[in-house]
């Protein structure tokens, strides 16, 4: 009887989720260097900030490329990482496998269906609300009556922002034409392609470009600086995720900034509370993890209007739903003649 009671008590202890997991170290894996003024840099900076806020160590593994990351993931798990932030959609296959194999929690992107309690969580981030505001701003400031969206791929996060931007433009002024062009199937670092496509979109009439493209963004910016709009005015650029204002030569209109610190902080806290893998994480205007930056190129009156619109989104007066499918984006922009 005594043995039975001891066994039962041990069973309850082992099966209980009430005991918090100890999290000492997290690691982030990025495909490119964390110095790209965009996706990779924001990820690395946010992971460092979250680690500091929660008092854990961080290991940064940068520039791993878009190939197979199983080996570095195993290595980081062996080094004692309690959470692996697999910061690229190309890591979504390897991530859950490594979580299963090593027992270390893994966070992946753009995979809301992959949630596995204790092992796999998803962060499908989207600044669609910020992109909507950027669209309103672009529609207010265009002089040619045409704006362009140039993307280096069509991952869900970017589709949501492209759709948000297009909806913002249409809400502000339905007469503004929206041109849309994808550089290539996964042309994230194709700077020359970014330049070529953006040059073409400008030649077709756009004077404000909403560009999403990691390394290819630099080619887009070069095209914006190199070409005049069809009405002779300067072309302006709207960036996403990071802040390139330190590189700006007078053409950056704004950027839809992302701050992933709240996301990573929540993941660490959930892991400590044994709730990891039970929910997805998001960024939003409400906590400023999505926001627009004001540059000297922004008209003050237009900025005030946009900030007022921001309040309307926060109050629920304006609703911007994310649209993650590329077909939904195209449905919004094929109105161009």
Partner 1 sequence: MDGLLTEAFLSSLFTGAIVAAVPMLLAGLGEQMSEKAGVLNIGIEGMMLMGAYMGFLVAFKTDSLWLGFVGGILGGLMVAIAMAVLCVRLGLNQIVIGIGLTLGAEGLTALLHHFQFSRTYPRLPVPERLNIPGLTDLPVIGPSLFGRHLIVYLALLAVIILALLYRRTNLGMTLRAAGESPAALDVAGGNVLGIRVFAVLFTGAMAGLGGAYLANIGAGLFVPFMTGGAGFIGIVLAMLARGRPFWVLIGSLIFGAALSLTTALQVAGSNIPTDVIQMLPFAAVMLVLVLFGRRAKLPSALGAAYERGAR
Residues near partner 1 (CB under 8 A) are 33, 35-37, 63, 148, 154, 179-182, 184-185, 189-197, 199-201, 203-205, 215, 218-219, 221-222, 225-226, 247, 326, 330, 333-337
Q: How far apart are CA 229 and CA 26, in angstroms?
A: 47
Following CA atoms 227, 229, 235, 239 in sequence, which dihedral angle do they give, to the nearest 10 degrees? -90
Distance in angstroms (rounded) separating the CA atoms of residues 64 and 89 = 13
**Closest distance to partner 1 from the beta carbon of 149 (Å):** 10
Q: Provide the minimum distance between the beta carbon of 162 and partner 1 in the complex, in angstroms, as a whole number.
A: 12
Give min distance, CB of 150 to partner 1, in A. 9
Distance CA 29, CA 72 (A): 9
The residue among 193 and 322 lying less far from partner 1, judged by its C-beta, is 193
Please, which residue, 312 or 334, has the CB nearer to partner 1?
A: 334
Instruction: List, in order, residues 6 or more apart from 321 with CB less than 8 Å away.
Output: 128
- Judged by beta carbon, residue 234 or residue 305, the one nearer partner 1 is 234
Helix axis angle, 128-141 to 300-314, nearest 10°: 150
Nearer to partner 1, 94 or 149 (CB): 149
In this structure, are residues 126 and 92 in contact, taking their beta carbons and an 8 Å threshold? no
Least Å from the CB of residue 181 to partner 1: 4
Q: Which is nearer to partner 1, 62 or 122 (CB)?
A: 62
Task: Report in angstroms how near the CB of residue 203 gets to partner 1 at its nearest.
Answer: 4
Cβ closer to partner 1: 61 or 221?
221
Please, which residue, 107 or 252, has the CB nearer to partner 1?
252
Q: Tell me how many degrees the CA angle 314-172-331 measures, rounded to the nearest 5.
A: 95
Sheet arrangement for strand 25-29: 57-61, 25-29, 83-86, 105-108, 120-122
Please identify, using beta-carbon distances, which residue of 96 and 135 lies nearer to partner 1: 135
**Rounded least distance, CB 186 to partner 1, Å:** 10
Helix ranges (H only) for 16-127 are: 39-54, 70-78, 94-102
Smallest distance from the beta carbon of 135 to partner 1, in angstroms?
18
- C-alpha dihedral over 56, 61, 65, 69, to 10 degrees? -70
Distance of CA 67 to CAs 30, 42, 61, 139, 272, Å? 11, 21, 14, 39, 31
Helix ranges restricted to H, 55-127 = 70-78, 94-102
232 φ/ψ sector (left φ>0, alpha ψ -120 to 50, else beta): left
For residue 61, CA distances in Å to 30, 55, 175, 278 come to 6, 19, 47, 26
């Amino acid at each position: 009887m005594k043995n039975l009671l001891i066994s039962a008590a041990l069973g309850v202890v082992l099966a209980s989720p009430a005991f918090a997991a100890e999290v000492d170290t997290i690691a982030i894996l990025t495909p490119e260097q964390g110095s790209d003024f965009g996706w990779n840099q924001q990820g690395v900076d946010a992971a460092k900030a979250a680690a500091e806020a929660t008092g854990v160590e961080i290991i940064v593994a940068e520039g791993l490329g878009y190939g197979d990351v199983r080996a570095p993931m195993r290595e980081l798990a062996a080094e004692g990482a309690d959470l692996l932030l697999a910061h690229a959609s190309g890591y979504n296959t390897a991530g859950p496998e490594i979580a299963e194999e090593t027992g270390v929690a893994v966070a992946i992107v753009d995979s809301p269906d992959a949630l596995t309690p204790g092992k796999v969580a998803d962060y499908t981030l989207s600044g669609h609300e910020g992109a909507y505001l950027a669209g309103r701003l672009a529609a207010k400031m265009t002089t040619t009556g045409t704006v362009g969206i140039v993307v280096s791929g069509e991952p869900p996060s970017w589709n949501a922002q492209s759709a948000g931007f297009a909806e913002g433009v249409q809400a502000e002024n339905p007469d503004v034409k929206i041109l849309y062009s994808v550089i290539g199937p996964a042309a994230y670092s194709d700077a020359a392609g970014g330049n070529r496509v953006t040059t073409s979109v400008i030649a077709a009439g756009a004077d404000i470009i909403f560009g999403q493209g990691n390394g290819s963004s630099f080619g887009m910016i070069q095209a914006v600086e190199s070409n005049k709009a069809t009405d002779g005015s300067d072309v302006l650029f709207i960036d996403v995720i990071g802040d390139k204002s330190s590189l700006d030569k007078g053409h950056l209109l704004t950027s839809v900034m992302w701050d992933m610190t709240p996301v990573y902080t929540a993941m660490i806290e959930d892991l400590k509370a044994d709730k990891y893998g039970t929910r997805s994480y998001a960024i939003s205007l409400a906590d400023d993890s999505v926001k627009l930056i004001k540059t000297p190129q922004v008209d003050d009156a237009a900025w005030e209007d946009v900030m007022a619109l921001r309040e309307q989104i926060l109050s629920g007066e304006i609703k911007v739903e994310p649209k993650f499918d590329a077909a939904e984006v195209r449905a919004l922009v094929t109105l161009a003649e």
